[in-house]
Amino acid sequence: MQITLGPLLFFWPKQEVTAFYEKVAESGFDRIYLGEVVCSKRRELKLDDWLAIAKLLQAKGKEVVLSTLTLIEAESELAQVSKICENGTFVVEANDMAAVHYLAKAGVPFSTGPSVNLYSAEALQVLHRTGLKRWVLPVELSFEHLKLIMARLQELGITDLETEVFSYGYLPLAYSARCFTARTHELNKDSCEFSCIKSSAGIPLATQEGDALFTINGIQTLSGSCHNILDQWQAMESAGVKAMRLSGHSQDILKVADELVRAMGHGITAITSENQQCNGYWSGRPGISH
């Protein structure tokens, strides 16, 4: 079982990003997804900066994947996605069909992230024909659904497709034209002052009764609770899952990965789960449930 680090969903200053990935280079992660996937206005790091981090990680023996923007609206954003797809060195994770279009045309193998809507083996089969090598299960699907999809893939004779499951972190739930961080700060999106940088783990949104509901992260809405199904690693392994994705909202993600590596090494199930975490989707319940 591989342990992967999903793309950083939050807007951190360049120095912090660089320092973070220097630690990631020494961590137990096997495969690292890099790049800005939420908002094209976040430009602390340019593509060359990401490529420099990619090379550093690769030199330390990590698999590196470049992950692309999810909601593409402007032509400049599309041009950037195209450029990443044509990088020629690193595998690319498509988060929109635009990237799938470029990668399929180029004839290079690619991955898809959780926002590409693949809900059945039949849908996977279509992209498999165009070069899909790995996919991330949509976060709202349960283990039962996953098993059905895996069984059907076998029937369809697709045996080389790698499955990755979003296993830890705030769940990406929605994308919008509107920037909710700017709205919170009473700013327009066009003059947002890059205010996402002020909240390194997003802004909590709660009901009027104080129940944690969502996390605001620019144009993205995440779950209010941290999703944690790390204790399912053995079930995933026996179902043929290739990798577990962890998504970080602080440097603590490195400790989480270490703990998972240790648990796997010793063959133990128990993984720390804190209060306020959720895991409902995995068992077919509302995602917020625990």
Partner 1 sequence: MELVCPAGNLPSLKAAVDNGADAVYIGFRDETNARHFAGLNFSDQRAMKALDYVNKNPRGKKVRLFVAVNTYAQASNWNRWKKAVDMCADFGVDALIAADISVLDYASKRYPDLNLHLSVQASATNQASLSFYHDHFGIKRAVLPRVLSLKQVERLAQKSPVELEVFAFGSLCIMAEGRCILSSYVTGESPNTVGACSPASAVRWQTTANGMDTRLGGLLIDRFDHHEQAGYPTLCKGRFTVNDKVSHAIEEPTSLNTLNLIPQLHQAGISAVKIEGRQRSPAYVAEVVRIWREALDHYRANPDGFTTNDRWMAGLSRLSEGSQTTLGAYNRPWQ
Query: Would you count residue 154 as binding partner 1 (CB under 8 A)?
Result: no
Give the residue with the Cβ less far from partner 1, 24 or 241: 241
- Spatial separation of the C-alpha atoms in residues 187 and 73, rounded to whole Å: 20
Query: What is the length of the chain?
Result: 290
- Please give the size of the binding site for partner 1, defined by CB under 8 A: 74
CB of 126 to partner 1, least distance (A): 5
Query: Would you count residue 136 as binding partner 1 (CB under 8 A)?
Result: no
Give the residue with the Cβ less far from partner 1, 60 or 152: 152
Task: List phi, psi (to 5°) of 286.
Answer: -55, 140
Using CB under 8 A as the binding rule, the residues of this chain from 204 to 263 that contact partner 1 are: 204-211, 213-214, 216, 221, 223
- Cβ atoms within 10 Å of 198's Cβ, excluding its own: 11
In this chain, which stretch among 12-20, 95-103, 242-250, 268-276 interacts with partner 1, using CB under 8 A?
Answer: 95-103
Task: List phi, psi (to 5°) of 215.
Answer: -125, 125
CB of 185 closer than 8 Å to CB of 217? no
Strands 91-94 and 110-112: parallel
Query: Would you count residue 93 as binding partner 1 (CB under 8 A)?
Result: no
Query: Would you count residue 140 as binding partner 1 (CB under 8 A)?
Result: yes
Query: Would you count residue 188 as binding partner 1 (CB under 8 A)?
Result: yes
User: Binding residue for partner 1 (CB under 8 A) from 20, 102, 166, 282?
Assistant: 102
- Spatial separation of the C-alpha atoms in residues 153 and 231, rounded to whole Å: 25
CB of 226 to partner 1, least distance (A): 13
User: Tokens in use for 144?
Assistant: 């039962």
